[in-house]
Structures are given as C-alpha cells and as structure tokens.
C-alpha cells in the first residue's frame, strides 16, 4: 500500500517536472511569460497614467459651468462606458490607425487610456463632490481664486478620498489588458497561449499566467490597504 | 466702509432677503440677531459674495462687489470670514492653514507669512499648536485658529457667521474673548450671533432681522432695553430670560 502511494507520487512528480521543462525550459519558453508580463505592465502603467490625465480633465469639464465642455465630457463618458473595451481596441487599431504603421503597445496604451479615462473621470468627479462645500467657501473667502482653491484645498483632499478607487481602477485595467491578443500584441495571456500552442499542454502555461495576474493584483490591493490606513490616520475632520 | 443698497436674494422661489439697506462704518461692531430663517447668515454671506444676490448693490470701500468687472478675489482679501463650522483645512497643519492664503493669493514670502502667523497665534493664545493638525484641536481652538487664518490676510472687515454655535458651552468664552479683543483694537466687524449677552456687551450697534428684512436697529442698550417693534419684543422675550 505504502509503496504504491510512493510510486504514484514519484510518478506524478516526474510528470510534473517533465511538464515544467517542456513548457518553460525547452526553447526558453519561459521568455514568452517574462516578455508578456513586461508588455502587460507597460501597457497597464502607461494606460492608467493617460487615463488619469484624461479622467481629471474630463471631471473638470463635467464640473465646469461651461455647457459645451460639460456636454463633451458626458458624451465621452457615455460612449466609452456603453461599448465593450475589446471593440474600442479593435476600432482604434484597425480603423483609426489602420493605415499607419504604429507600435501595437502604443495602440493598446491609447485604447486603454481612453477607456480608463471615462471611469477615472467619474471617480474624480465623485471625489471632488465629496469634499465639504465649506472647504471651498473657506478658500474663496480668503481671496483664493477658484483654481487656487481647487489645487491647494479641494483636490488634495479629494485624491485622498478616491485613492482606493483609483488603485481599484488600475487593478481592473491590468486584468482587462489580457485582451490585447486581439491585435496580436504578445502580453502575458498571449504569451501563455503561445506556449500552449507549441506544447499542446493548456494547463501549465495558462494557470501560470493566472497565478501571475493574481499575485500582481493581490500585491496591489494589499499595498493600497497599507497606504490607505496611513492616509486615514492623518485626518478625521 | 460697507454700503448695502436694496439687497434681494432668492433661493428658487423662496425669498430670503427682501430689500436690505445698511451701512457699516469703519470701527463699528455690528451684531445681527434674529430668529433662525430670518436671513441673517444669507445677508452676511452676500457681503463677500458667497451668495450672489439677484438684486441690489454692495459697495466695499466704494467698490461694487456685485459688479462682474470687479476682481472679486482681490475684494475678498479685504473681507475676512469666520464660519460656524470652522472649515479649517484638515490636510494642512495649523501653520499651513494660516499661511496658505497670504502665500498663494498675496504672493507673500513664506518666512514673512510665518512671522505674521506666529504673531496671530500669540494673539489667539495658540502658539504651541503651530504644528498640530485640525483634528488634534478642540472646537474652541479650531475656531480661534480660523480667526487667525482670516486675520492673516489683514482684512479691513471681519464677518462672523454664528462663530460659537457649533461649540460646546465651555468653549464659547475663549472664542468670544478673542472677538472682543478684536473689537477693542478697532476692527470693523459684522457678527451674526445667538449670544445676546455678547452682542449687548461688544456690539456698537445691533440689527434685528426677521423674514428677510432689518426690522429694527439701534445701540444695544436701546434695542435690548426698549425695543420698539412688536416682533423685536416677541423675539427678545423668548431669548432673554
């Protein structure tokens, strides 16, 4: 009985080692994951930066008293949130940049940045509205302009309030970039899929990709909780 | 000097101010009293345009603040305001709360602003709180810092919107003491208050407002001692025991 168990465990272990070697070491296939991860991170980081830039701008458009700016921001947000991000990515790649030779990474950054901008805009708008009106009034009554009051008083407090939501948006974005394979960009998911197509073993490469995503998103949300707790300690008022 | 002509303010269909004509002379301390909903706070908030009136004119040192061509930020620097809810900036230290506006709006040198801030902290008795944050202060301390913050812009006029209404009773005295000190120094002030004893003691003139109008006004001894209007009498009989 005992020897049978030992034999089956050692047999499984040998298969596992064989799979590992086949999927990751032969032809340096692990490089598909490493390079894919680099692309995933590159696209996510630059897209969230672009998304924040667009999001903050759109939020101010939406809060501004100028009607055309409001209308533009609302239309932007509605269209982006009302259509799938895959479709947006394909349109930007094949329609907008269809006839130009442009880096796929850049296309992905633009597509996800534009998409994320709509979501960030709503987060930022909510954050600004959540700051007590008395703060704006105090700033204005001291003779600060609207812009100075925003920059020095409202936005610093709003950013503190929306920080968790922004990190969350980044986590969502990071996972959504897994669809860039649609424009044949080799990110983490596509990299894993390429290994699968070479080794005919779907389990190990795809599970590995999933584990890497999971580790990244977990680290991000844990890091966020730590920073959030530190921010909260400073102020209740 | 503040000159107010025919001031009207409506919120949607609700008329809050129905034609106010007033003047506040340099060095005057004007207390505004009246039942809640009488428009006292709205009146005060119109003076620095936190509320924009639909009709009428407000002149500060001869300049119309209701004129859209006026630089409202410059004018507001001359008019300090203290709020019921303090409205200190929670993300900034006490020192930063006080120096922010002088440095940003007046382009004052940071060192110079800090020197002024320390003088003001001495005045309100809170020098040792310079590096504290608002959430580390009591209500009375917050309000004294708020007063120092407004004074840092070196205003000609100070507006107080029920400065002690959000305070625990034992902290009212320390705030009133600071305001009294300012009165003695000759600061021009308009104070909306429910503290009748304080109004009587510190004000040079008292306005009684009801239903969007100034019903009666006079020196404290007269207004509190021999009110002429029925509404004033009714109000005072309720608030003075």
Q: Which residues on adjacent β-strands are paired with residue B208?
A: B33, B216
Q: Please, which residues bridge with residue A77 across strands? A: none
Pick B85's closest partner by Cβ from A134, A148, A153: A134
- Residue by residue, DSSP assigns A188-223 as HHHHHHHHHHHHS--HHHHHHHHHHHHHHHHHHHHH
Chain A residues contacting B, CB < 8 Å?
132, 134-135, 137-145, 148, 152-153, 156-157, 160, 234-237
Residue A236 in this model has a pLDDT that exceeds 50: no
Which H or E run includes A227?
helix A203-234
Give the chain B residue whose CA is nearest to the CA of A236. B135
Tell me the C-alpha distance between B231 and B210, whole Å: 8
Cβ contacts of B73 on chain A, cutoff 8 Å: 140, 143-145
Strand-pair partners of A158? none
Separation of alpha carbons A201 and A19, rounded Å: 8
Which tokens hold the place of A29?
């296939």
pLDDT tens for residues A54-97? 999 999 999 988 999 999 999 999 999 999 999 999 999 999 99
Q: Are A169 and A51 in contact (CB under 8 A)?
A: yes
Q: Which of A65, A140, A237 to mutate to test the interface with B (most CBs of B within 10 A)?
A: A237
DSSP string, A137-180: HHHHHTT--HHHHIIIIIHHHHHHHHHHHHHHHHHHHHHHGGGG
Q: Do the Cβ atoms of B83 and A138 come within 8 Å?
A: yes
* Residue in the block written with tokens 């504290």: B132
Contacts of A132 in chain B (CB under 8 A): 87
Structure tokens at B135: 């959430």
Note the pTM of the prediction, 2 decimals: 0.82
Per residue in A159-190, is it b (16+ CB within 10 Å) or e — as a string? bbbbbbbbbbbbbebbbbbbbbbebebbbbbb
Alpha-carbon span B197 to B224, nearest angstrom: 10
- The candidate with the shortest Cα–Cα distance to A108, out of A38, A60, A165, A167, is A38
What number is the average pLDDT over the span B29-54?
A: 93
Domains defined for chain A, CATH in brackets: 32-177 (1.10.3720.10)
Q: Which of B50, B101, B133 sits opposite A137 (nearest CB)?
A: B50
Q: Which two tokens stand for residue B87?
A: 């409205």
CB-closest option in B74, B134, B135 to A143: B74
Q: Give the pLDDT band (50/70/90) at residue B220.
A: very high
Higher pLDDT, B162 or B241: B162
Contact yes or no for B135 and A152 at CB 8 A: no
Contact A234 B91 (CB under 8 A): yes
As a whole number, mean pLDDT of residues A28-37 equals 90
Tokens 């649609």 sit on residue: A182
pLDDT at A15 (0 to 100): 86
pLDDT at A29: 86
Select from B76, B90, B91 the Cβ nearest to the Cβ of A140.
B76
Do B145 and B134 contact (CB within 8 A), yes or no?
Answer: yes
Site from A131, A133, A140, A141 to mutate, B interface, most B CB atoms within 10 angstroms:
A141
Residues B148 and B177 sit within 8 Å (Cβ to Cβ): no
| Model pLDDT, residue A90 | 96
Percentage with pLDDT > 90 across chain A: 73
ipTM value, please give it.
Answer: 0.92
Q: How far is CA B180 from CA A153, B30, B124, B196, in A?
A: 30, 12, 11, 14
Lowest pLDDT segment from A16-25, A63-72, A127-136, B104-113: A16-25
Of B73, B88, B89, the CB nearest to A143: B73
Over residues B129-139, the pLDDT tens digits come to 999 999 999 99
* CB pair distance less than 8 Å for B101 and A142: yes
Say what the pLDDT of residue A233 is: 67
**What contacts B83, CB < 8 A, 6 or more positions away?**
A134, A137, A138, B146, B161, B163
**Residue A200: Cβ within 10 Å count:** 7
C-beta of residue B50 within 8 angstroms of C-beta of residue B41: no
Q: How confident is the model at residue A234 (pLDDT cuts 50, 70, 90)?
A: low
- The pLDDT value recorded for residue A237 is 42
pLDDT of A88: 97
**For tokens 């969502």, what's the residue?**
A172
Strand partners, B11: B14
Measured between alpha carbons, how far is A45 from A171 in angstroms, rounded to an integer? 10
Question: Distance (Å, rounded) from C-alpha A111 to C-alpha A180?
Answer: 10
Q: How far apart are the first and last CA of chain A?
A: 68
Cα–Cα distance for residue pair B236/B230, rounded to 1 Å: 10
CB–CB contact B87 A134 (8 Å): yes
Q: Give the closest-approach CA distance of A218 to chain B in angstroms.
A: 29
Pick the closest to residue B72 from B53, B56, B48 (CA basis). B48
Of B85, B90, B105, the CB nearest to A142: B105
pLDDT at residue B61, as a whole number: 86
- By C-alpha distance, which of B49, B65, B54, B50 is closest to B17? B54
Residue B174 near residue B206 (C-beta atoms within 8 A): no
Task: Pick the residue from chain B with its C-alpha nearest to A233.
Answer: B135
With an 8 Å Cβ cutoff, is B150 touching chain A? Answer: yes
Q: Do A143 and B50 touch (CB under 8 A)?
A: no
pLDDT at B200: 93
């Amino acid at each position: 009985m005992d020897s049978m168990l030992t034999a089956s465990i050692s047999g499984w272990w040998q298969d596992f080692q064989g799979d590992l070697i086949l999927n990751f070491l032969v032809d340096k296939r692990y490089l598909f994951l490493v390079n894919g991860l680099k692309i995933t991170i590159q696209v996510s980081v630059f897209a969230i930066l672009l998304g924040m830039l667009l999001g903050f701008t759109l939020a101010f458009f939406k809060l501004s008293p100028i009607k055309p700016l409001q209308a533009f921001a609302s239309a932007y947000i509605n269209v982006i949130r009302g259509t799938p991000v895959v479709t947006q990515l394909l349109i930007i790649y094949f329609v907008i940049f269809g006839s130009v030779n442009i880096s796929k990474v850049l296309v992905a950054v633009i597509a996800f940045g534009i998409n994320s901008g709509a979501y960030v805009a709503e987060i930022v708008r909510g954050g600004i509205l959540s700051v007590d009106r008395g703060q704006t009034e105090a700033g204005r009554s001291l003779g600060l302009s609207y812009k100075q009051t925003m920059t020095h008083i409202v936005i610093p407090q709003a950013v503190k309030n929306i920080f968790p939501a922004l990190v969350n948006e980044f986590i969502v974005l990071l996972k959504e970039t897994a669809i860039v394979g649609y424009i044949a960009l080799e990110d983490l998911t596509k990299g894993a899929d390429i290994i699968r197509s070479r080794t005919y073993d779907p389990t190990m490469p795809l599970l590995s990709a999933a584990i890497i995503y999971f580790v990244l998103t977990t680290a991000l949300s844990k890091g966020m909780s730590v920073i959030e707790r530190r921010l909260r300690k400073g102020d209740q008022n | 000097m503040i000159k107010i002509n025919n001031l009207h303010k409506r919120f949607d269909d609700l008329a809050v101010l129905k034609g106010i004509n007033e003047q506040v002379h340099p060095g005057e301390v004007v207390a505004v009293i009246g039942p809640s909903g009488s428009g006292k706070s709205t009146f005060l908030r119109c003076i620095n345009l936190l509320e924009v009136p639909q009709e009428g004119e407000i002149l500060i040192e001869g300049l119309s603040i209701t004129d859209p061509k006026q630089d409202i930020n410059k004018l507001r620097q001359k008019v300090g305001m203290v709020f019921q809810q303090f409205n200190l900036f929670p993300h900034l230290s006490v020192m930063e709360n006080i120096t922010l506006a002088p440095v940003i709006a007046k382009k004052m040198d940071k060192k110079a602003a800090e020197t002024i801030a320390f003088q003001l902290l001495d005045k309100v008795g809170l020098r040792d709180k310079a590096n504290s944050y608002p959430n580390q202060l009591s209500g009375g301390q917050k309000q004294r810092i708020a007063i120092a913050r407004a004074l840092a812009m070196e205003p000609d006029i100070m507006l107080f919107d029920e400065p002690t209404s959000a305070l625990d009773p034992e902290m009212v005295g320390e705030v009133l003491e600071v305001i009294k000190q300012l009165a003695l120094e000759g600061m021009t002030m308009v104070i909306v208050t429910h503290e009748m004893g304080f109004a009587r003691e510190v004000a040079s003139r008292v306005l009684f407002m009801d239903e969007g109008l100034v019903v009666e006004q006079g020196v404290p001894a007269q207004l509190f001692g021999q009110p002429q209007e029925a509404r004033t009498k009714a109000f005072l009989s309720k608030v003075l025991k």
